[in-house]
Structures are given as structure tokens and as C-alpha cells.
Amino acid sequence: MKDIKKILIVIGCFLLYYIGSKNFKTMYQGINSVLHNGLWSYLVSYLLIGIPIFAGTILVGGRRQFLSSLGLNGGVIKGLLIAILFVLPMLIGSAVIGTITTDTSYPAVAKLITGSVFAGFFEELYFRAFLFGLIFRYTKLGFIPAIILGAIIFGLGHIYQSDDNTIKVGIFLVTFMGSVWFAWLFAEWKYNIWVPIFLHMLMNASWMIFDVSDTAAGNTYANIFRTATIVLSITFTVIYRLRKDKQLTVNKNTVWMKR
């Protein structure tokens, strides 16, 4: 019964956040009419729609464990260094195949910050640390049941990037699997949310700075380098965990239900 209660709290609070996110633009415009600063207004809007997330974290993990429940107490520098290592193939590849943007106007810089820094931080915090993390860490549900709902919502949340149905399918599959990958990294790096946060930020930034593609689906070369980043991250993580702890967090005993 305790597990069911925790799961219902997490899903319920996430749904409240998700409903609020549908009014993000209206909220942003209202806040910006007062602050008159696009970036600050964007940040405040993200925080306000996240109130149900913060409340749910306290209800499930406790007020004193707020930061650790969301993985925010992990090593920030360590998370950044690991992310830089993992994203190197994608950064180098994007620099080779892409065309660096020369627009340094405020709107362009603000778009880069909101699309990489803000999106990377809050998407990982709300989707991976909260929706996936609290269910996987605080209940007996295994990795796949814990990630499936968030991965579907995350994938559907990105299909607006194209009007072509074929491309929509590609975007959904890429972002769905990306959600699973980020969640796996979060779990295997001992719930240090800074690893997927910085990795998400850097991947988005490379995509935007080098103007690689208009959608998350990407082109052939972009996906080759993105795949290289994914393979490097998985290989390095598995070798590191097996040498250090002798066992992965996600294994046969935790993939469906925890024994």
C-alpha cells in the first residue's frame, strides 16, 4: 500500500505540473510584463509550473531529503566532467558537419540559453529525477515500469517540431529512447542528476550552436555522432561501475520488479 501511495503521489503531482506546462506561454507573458526580462521570466515560469513537483518530492522523500531525493546533492563538478567526456564525439562531429551560427543578438543568445541550459536542467529534474527517480528509488517497481510513462510523455512532448508524420515518428522514437538513456545514466551514476543534466545541456547546445538540424530527429551524420556519444557513455559507465561496485544498478533483479 505504501508503494501504491507513493506512485499515485508522484504521478498525480507530475500530471498537475504537466497541465500547468500547457499554459507556460501565457504564464511567461504575464510574468514578463512585470519583470521585462525574457530570461528571468522564463526561469520563474519554469519554477512556478514545477511547484507540484517540489511538493511531491517532499511528500515522498521528506523535507530534509529534498535535494538528495532529486539527486541534486551529487557532485556537480564530477557530473560536468563526465558529461563533457561523453559528449565529445557529438561536439566534434557537430563542428565538422554543422555550420556555426554567427547570430549573437540577444534573442539568439536567449534562445540558446533557454533551449540548452533551462531545458536541460528542468527536463532532467522534472522527468528523470522526479517522475522516474522517485518511483524507481522509493518503490519496488523496476527500471522499465518506472521509466515507461515518462519516456512516452517526453517523446510526445517533442513531436511539435515537425508537421510531417514520418518525421514525427522519428522524433518520438529518438526522444523516447533518449529519455530511457538519461534515466539509466542517472541510476548508474548513483542518482547524480548532474550527469544527465549537463549531458542534456551540452547536447542541446551543440545541436543549436552548430545548427545541425531543425528537429530532434536529426540527419544521418548527426545521428552517427549522437550514437557515438551514446555508445561511449554506456561503455564507459558499465566498465566504471563493474570495476568499482561489481554490479550495475539496473540488472536482472531490478529491471521489472525489485527482489
Q: What is the pLDDT of residues 100-144, one digit of tens each?
A: 988 889 999 999 999 999 999 999 999 999 999 999 999 999 999
Cell of 210: 552548430
pLDDT at 99: 86
pLDDT level of residue 98 (50, 70, 90 thresholds): confident
Q: How far apart are CA 245 and CA 99, in angstroms?
A: 42
pLDDT at 208: 92
- Is residue 1 pLDDT above 80, yes or no? no
Q: What is the pLDDT of residues 186-217, one digit of tens each?
A: 999 999 999 999 999 999 999 999 988 878 88
Q: What is the pLDDT of residues 4-51, one digit of tens each?
A: 999 999 999 999 999 999 999 999 999 999 999 999 999 999 999 999
pLDDT at 215: 81
pLDDT at 176: 97
Helix (H) or strand (E) holding 58: helix 51-61
pLDDT level of residue 218 (50, 70, 90 thresholds): confident
Angle at CA of residue 52, ends 51 and 54, nearest 5°? 65
CA dihedral 75, 145, 57, 160 (to 10 degrees): 90
Residue 97 class from Cβ within 10 Å (0-12 exposed, 13-18 middle, 19+ buried)?
Answer: middle
Cα separation values, 239 from 16, 205, 246, Å: 39, 28, 9
- Is 50 in contact with 42 (CB distance < 8 Å)? no
pLDDT at 216: 84
Please choose, from the candidates 233, 213, 208, the residue with its C-alpha nearest in 3D space to the C-alpha of residue 223: 213
Task: Specify the residue for cell string 532532467.
Answer: 124
Q: Give 42's Cβ-side CA count (13 Å radius).
A: 16
pLDDT level of residue 219 (50, 70, 90 thresholds): confident
pLDDT at 6: 98
Mean pLDDT, residues 142-163: 95
Cell of 140: 519496488
Which is more confident, 162 or 128? Answer: 128
Residue 82 class from Cβ within 10 Å (0-12 exposed, 13-18 middle, 19+ buried)?
Answer: buried
Q: How far apart are CA 63 and CA 42, in angstroms?
A: 26
